[in-house]
Structure 1
Amino acid sequence: MLREILRGTGVALITPFKADKSIDFNALDAVINFVIEGGVQYVVTLGTTGETPTLSREEKLDIINATFASVDARVPVVVGIGGNNTQSIIKDIESFPVEKAVAILSASPYYNKPSQEGIFQHYKAIADSTTKPIILYNVPGRTGSNIAAATTVRLAKEVNTIAGIKEASGNMAQCMTILRDKPEEFMVVSGDDNLAMAQIACGMDGVISVAANCFPKYFSNMVNAALQNDFYNARAFNNMLIQGYDLLFAENNPAGVKAVMAEMGLIQNNLRLPLVPLSESIHQQVRDYLPSLK
């Protein structure tokens, strides 16, 4: 059951770039080793944190293959394949090298702003096209539309291959409604690092995290403690990271996490337009914060 396979901390991997903005595959390998050694339970490649809107199809294929090679079966891999063209997503799932993936994470359609029925039919069509488990991704702040709790539960109950949701609405009442009404086997993970501990307390199975790129040990320890109902230690780790969460998302994602990882020497601090690196004032706050974690 996917709930058991992906219980804990997943990390939405960044895509490191060289100075010429080409993909830095050596740095990607270093990042994957860093997060696995830091204790994450699984990795997610080609999520929005990986700047997927700026990647070509060929680059996406190369990243998937490089991720599987680097991971080398040490942890499960989830592949992100989403967008606002349902048929294009179906074609990508058919043609991308996802055989080794345990699931596909698919963000709700952006910009189109479909109705709830449109969202339901979009995901049903995707799920009907594959035997791979599908994880819904609700992130209204990026897509411009929300997957209502009733739609999530309907998909969970009516479509067999829809196995879970990454919930990043930030709406705790909506999250608790899903947790109350979902089928037992349906996985619900947080998509909001700063709410993950509270959402696990409500019954979520873990988190697909941005912060786990740069703080894998502390963040994984927090999640593991929360999942064991050890909220004394979970709060201690979370309190260490609260300022870090704020800095990671102060301007845009992944500018914050890339700034932190550049300070750690893992990557070069490069993004592709229209994203740009953190402003110097926020970057200085990153430099001032990092020693507190030592």
Structure 2
Amino acid sequence: MNNKFHGTGVALVTPFNTDGTVDYQGLKKLINHLVDGGIDYLVSLGTTGETATLSKDEKKKVWDFTAEINNGRLPLVAGIGGNDTIAIGEAIQTFENNQYSAILSVSPYYSKPTQEGVYQHYKYLSELSELPIILYNVPGRTGSNMSAETTCRLAHDFKNIIATKEASGSFEQFNQIMRDKPADFLLISGDDPIALPMIALGAVGVISVIGNALPLQLSTLINQCLQGDFTKALPAHLSLLEITRLMFAEGNPAGVKATLKQLNICGDTVRLPLVKASVELNKSLAEQLESLITLA
């Protein structure tokens, strides 16, 4: 079951039309682009999907449409997280699409709970969820870190908590998780630029942003890492560093959406409070893209 989440996962952007409505044709094109590019699984409505700006109805439609277009080709993960534990529990309980294999749930943000609060939050969700849960630790966004101790405590105590997407950037934390976790619990990189060293440490892959635009390049790199061929993987890893930096230079997903527009996959519209990538950034991204691939 857990090996569904080995390799390259992509946190899908939510394409928007210029009037701000969801662009389902763009989403269809994106999903097919990722399947064709060798991606291993798709994450619908994570941070990169601008989930905070989508209504309950829009979320359901995006999840259902994604499942319909994917049509069983890749495993699907639904992003359902937040800082109102009871509300997130209700959202998980009422999530009905049987095409999804797991839920990715971010550690509670803004509230800055204690480690015991984080533990009790996930305990509550675990006891309600029929689907396996992937923890998501991203202190740069949430304002609080889920410690390695808390991660491993949850992993040992709840069999349906199967993995963590780790975006703390702390190798001390990654080391502790790898040492203390159950054997079948998965460590997944939450940051594109450190997927290679994390896999060297024992991570099973990445949930990626840049993979939206560059699925073939990224999935090839991740597969080389998972096969232990780091000599071959290193030049590919280094070649992606600058375009990755640029994609995050003015926030996520403005940069990756600008790149997707250049690839003619979907538009670059984002919802406020996010704004589109600047002219200067678009130019730099285009130059990097030119050096990596032939434009579609």
TM bin (shorter chain): over 0.9
Partner of 1:216: 215
Q: Residues 69-114 of structure 1, C-alpha deviation per residue, up to 9 Å, x if partnerless?
A: 0100001000000000011011111112232211100001110000
Q: Give distance in 2, aligned partners of 1:169 and 1:176.
A: 12
Partner of 2:14: 15
Q: CA deviation at 1:229?
A: 0.3
Moved over 4 A (4+): none
Give the residue type in structure 2 aligned to 1:162.
I
Q: Give distance in 1, aligned partners of 2:289 and 2:14.
A: 22
The secondary structure found in structure 1 opposite 2:135 is strand
Corresponding position: 1:63 with 2:69 = no
Partner of 2:163: 164
Taking only the aligned residue pairs, the percentage that are identical comes to 47
Judge conservation of contact 1:79–1:98 (CA < 8 Å) in 2: no
Alignment RMSD: 0.8
Task: Please show how residues 74-153 of structure 1 align to structure 2 within 5 Å.
Answer: 74-153=73-152
Q: CA deviation at 1:27?
A: 0.5
Partner of 1:52: 51
The secondary structure found in structure 1 opposite 2:152 is helix
Judge conservation of contact 2:102–2:131 (CA < 8 Å) in 1: yes
Q: Residues 170-196 of structure 1, C-alpha deviation per residue, up to 9 Å, x if partnerless?
A: 111111110111000101100000000
> Structure 1 length normalisation: TM-score?
0.98
Q: Residues 4-27 of structure 1, C-alpha deviation per residue, up to 9 Å, x if partnerless?
A: 111100000000000100000010
Q: Give distance in 1, aligned partners of 2:180 and 2:287.
A: 44
Relative to structure 2, which stretch is displaced further, 10-19 or 283-292? 283-292
Judge conservation of contact 2:17–2:23 (CA < 8 Å) in 1: yes
Q: Residues 99-143 of structure 1, C-alpha deviation per residue, up to 9 Å, x if partnerless?
A: 221110000111000000000000000000122100000000110
Q: Residues 151-179 of structure 1, C-alpha deviation per residue, up to 9 Å, x if partnerless?
A: 00000001121111000001111111101
Q: CA deviation at 1:198?
A: 0.7
Q: Give distance in 2, aligned partners of 1:97 and 1:45.
A: 14
Q: CA deviation at 1:274?
A: 0.2
Partner of 1:271: 270
Task: Please show how residues 186-225 of structure 1 align to structure 2 within 5 Å.
Answer: 186-225=185-224
Give the residue type in structure 1 aligned to 2:220.
N
Judge conservation of contact 1:113–1:144 (CA < 8 Å) in 2: yes
The secondary structure found in structure 2 opposite 1:249 is helix
Give the residue type in structure 1 aligned to 2:184.
E
Q: Residues 20-41 of structure 1, C-alpha deviation per residue, up to 9 Å, x if partnerless?
A: 0000001000000001100000
The secondary structure found in structure 2 opposite 1:89 is helix
Relative to structure 2, which stretch is displaced further, 257-266 or 92-101? 92-101
Q: Give distance in 1, aligned partners of 2:97 and 2:52.
A: 19
Q: Residues 239-266 of structure 1, C-alpha deviation per residue, up to 9 Å, x if partnerless?
A: 2211111011111000010010011111
Q: Give distance in 2, aligned partners of 1:120 and 1:98.
A: 27
Give the residue type in structure 1 aligned to 2:279.
E
Give the residue type in structure 2 aligned to 1:104.
I
Partner of 1:34: 33
Judge conservation of contact 1:64–1:97 (CA < 8 Å) in 2: no
Partner of 2:239: 240
Give the residue type in structure 2 aligned to 1:212.
G
Structure 2: unaligned runs, 5 residues or longer: none
